[in-house]
Amino acid sequence: MRNSLLGRLRRDERGVAMVTVLLVTAVLTMLGLTVSQVAVSNLGNAGRDRVAAGALGAAEAGVTRAIGYINKHNTKVLDCSPSCSGNPWGNSTTPQTVSLPDGRAAKVWIKPIQKYQPPSYKVGIYKIYSVGTAGSGPGKRTLEVTVEVKPMGFPLGVFTKEALNNGGTGSVMNESVLSEACIDSRDKLNFSGIDSYYGVPAAAHSARYITTANVNGSCTNSLDVVKASDNKAIHRASVGTCNSTYPYDRDSAPLGGAFPSGSACTSAANQYTSSSHFDLTMLKAEPYNYLPRGLTDAQYALLKARAQASGTYYTTTSPATWPTATTHSNPVLYFKIGASDTVSIQGELSSYAWQSDPSCVNDHPTVVVVVEGGNLRLNSNASLAGAVFVPDGSMTYNGGAQLVGTLFAKQLNFTGNSSVSLNDCYTRATPGGVFDIKPTRFREVDR
């Protein structure tokens, strides 16, 4: 009987289908849960990736704003970094906040690695720290970007393409005058001090010749004729290649040349050369980087764009409103005018006048003035600090006009007792608008 029951139980398959269904259902349920968990996880990862990408974009925007800050100001304002008390761009504890329209933000500050301080350091190295955030969650990305800061590669000093004419008693202090053409009335051009950018005695350098005569802008004579006939050329035959009155001046051969052994030029204080020879090849090479219009077309286009962005681009000679240092600390003023037009400045830019600062502790506002197409006149009341470019016309100093900074003009005229000068503090406060800022190292700290 017992064996018969066991036999029937072994042969009875009722209930197997149900067990199988239950097992399959369990497996499918587990697979569904797994798929759901993976999907949810992937959605979370995608969301976190979006947040991280947004944070990275915010950090990159912070870096861009930091570069823009230097271009709108100068590097001197960062000398106090990383603990600038009144400037968050130079404060690592309370950095600058950069807010974006979509709610993202970045905390940014800038640290000098090698301060821009000519003549010792003509290239500055700065590190930008930017922490970007996105959303209310943990999304955060940190960037460290090292940038190289230096002037655009334009001539730093007083440069002219055509003749420099001096009809007054102009003074040039702590910087050099360089010209592709001749420099006349040399005896009325008063130099003093050491060039704050090049670190050599301030002097005149002509790719043609230098004379104490007033040639009224004419440089048509060949150098051989000048050597033979101009009895006021500073290196005329009767004087030779060393003129002890102008021991640092240089002009082209056959006028300028090696100093005679034992000459007064050789033993002049702070002498930096053994020759009074200078030519166009030297003018175009380092460290002068001369270009026939002062800057490249691309550089002028960049300055124009910066002026347009700040509302200081003009197509007339007299703006309705001139910027002031309180509203625009380091602006680019760009004038696009006709060849017969002249921008005349009296006291309109007086808020950018240089203030004496022997210890170089103040923040000095400066201005970049570009006059494309026409001319520029600085009248007797004009006083400003900055960089001036007049690539197509003439720049005239009238009366007691004063410029602390650098300039390039197709033709330059000194009248009255006007002056142009450099100083070590100005070179440290070189207008940010003329800086070329190039990232050299990019690092994601949290990667």
Per-residue pLDDT tens digits for 37-96: 544 444 444 444 455 678 899 999 999 999 999 988 889 889 999 999 989 999 999 999
Q: What is the pLDDT of residue 95?
A: 96
The arithmetic mean of pLDDT across residues 249-272, rounded, is 95
Same domain? For 180 and 68 the reply is: no
Whether 2 has a pLDDT exceeding 50, the answer reads yes
Q: What is the pLDDT of residue 32?
A: 59
Same domain? For 204 and 275 the reply is: yes
- Domain boundary among the residues 151, 167, 189 is at 151
Whether 177 has a pLDDT exceeding 50, the answer reads yes
Does 186 map to a domain?
Answer: yes
Same domain? For 334 and 412 the reply is: yes
E-state strands within 181-327: 190-192, 204-206, 313-314
Q: What is the pLDDT of residue 221?
A: 66
Residues 6+ positions from 108 with CB-CB distance below 8 Å: 62, 63, 65, 66, 89, 95, 96, 97, 98, 128, 129, 130, 131
Does 354 map to a domain?
Answer: yes
- Domain boundary among the residues 116, 151, 186 is at 151
Same domain? For 181 and 263 the reply is: yes
Does 9 map to a domain?
Answer: no
Same domain? For 66 and 181 the reply is: no
Same domain? For 142 and 180 the reply is: no
Burial class (CB in 10 A: 0-12, 13-18, 19+), 396: buried
Q: What is the pLDDT of residue 43?
A: 43
Same domain? For 95 and 187 the reply is: no
Q: Are 413 and 394 contacting, i.e. CB atoms less than 8 angstroms apart?
A: yes
Same domain? For 179 and 214 the reply is: yes
Does 26 map to a domain?
Answer: no
Same domain? For 204 and 66 the reply is: no
- Domain boundary among the residues 151, 185, 202 is at 151
Q: What is the pLDDT of residue 230?
A: 81
Structural domains in the chain (count): 2
Q: Are 119 and 198 contacting, i.e. CB atoms less than 8 angstroms apart?
A: yes
Q: What is the pLDDT of residue 44?
A: 44
Q: Between 281 and 71, where is the model more confident? A: 281
> Using one digit for the tens of pLDDT, what is the confidence trace for 372-417?
999 999 998 899 999 999 999 999 988 889 999 999 999 988 887 8
Whether 269 has a pLDDT exceeding 90, the answer reads yes
CA proximity to 209, closest of 279, 160, 287: 279
What does the alpha-carbon distance between residue 179 and residue 183 come to, in Å, rounded to a whole number?
7
The number of residues making up the chain comes to 447
Does 447 map to a domain?
Answer: no
Q: Are 339 and 194 contacting, i.e. CB atoms less than 8 angstroms apart?
A: no
Does 20 map to a domain?
Answer: no
Q: What is the pLDDT of residue 7?
A: 58
- What range does the domain containing 354 cover? 158-435
Q: What is the pLDDT of residue 46?
A: 42
Q: What is the pLDDT of residue 14?
A: 57
Same domain? For 233 and 256 the reply is: yes
What does the alpha-carbon distance between residue 240 and residue 233 come to, in Å, rounded to a whole number?
10
Between the ranges 20-34, 145-159, 244-258, where is the mean pLDDT highest? 244-258
What does the alpha-carbon distance between residue 344 and residue 144 come to, in Å, rounded to a whole number?
45
Neighbouring CB atoms inside 10 A of 100's CB total 16
Same domain? For 88 and 189 the reply is: no
Same domain? For 146 and 94 the reply is: yes
Does 138 map to a domain?
Answer: yes
Does 441 map to a domain?
Answer: no
Give the global pTM: 0.80
Residues 6+ positions from 147 with CB-CB distance below 8 Å: 67, 125, 126, 127, 128, 437, 438, 439, 440
